[in-house]
Amino acid sequence: MIIQGSNVPITLTLDADVSEIPALVATLWNDSKMVKKWVKTDMTIDGNSINLPLTQAETAQMSASKHIISIKGLDSDGTTLFWDEAVIAVVGRRDKNITLENSDGNNANQR
């Protein structure tokens, strides 16, 4: 689940270790429109677990609806790998555009 106005990364667990494959791409879709794309250098990868960062500004612009996330990669032999698509709900918030500040005055949501 993604909450509008949040900055929590999407964390996915795949069925294989992807840390050593040369190319990996994740895309987030709403209907037939691509909302966000991450390449391997954008991700934090730990074995078969990947984190896909999101900013408050990005999630605030997402519509409150079901989204689809797709993952594909390219192994060292040049074979394209596909993983099953997953449905992620984006939950609407009336306060999605209200930014939070730390006690030091820095914006806490734009990490």
CATH number for the domain harbouring residue 53: 2.60.40.1930
In this structure, is residue 107 part of a structural domain? no
DSSP character for 101? B
Residue 71 lies in a domain: yes
Model confidence, pTM: 0.85
pLDDT tens for each residue of 59-89: 999 999 999 999 999 999 999 999 999 999 9
pLDDT of residue 11: 97
Across the strands, what pairs with 2? 90
CA distance 19 to 34: 25
Structural domain containing residue 50 = 2-91
User: Is 100 inside a domain boundary?
Assistant: no
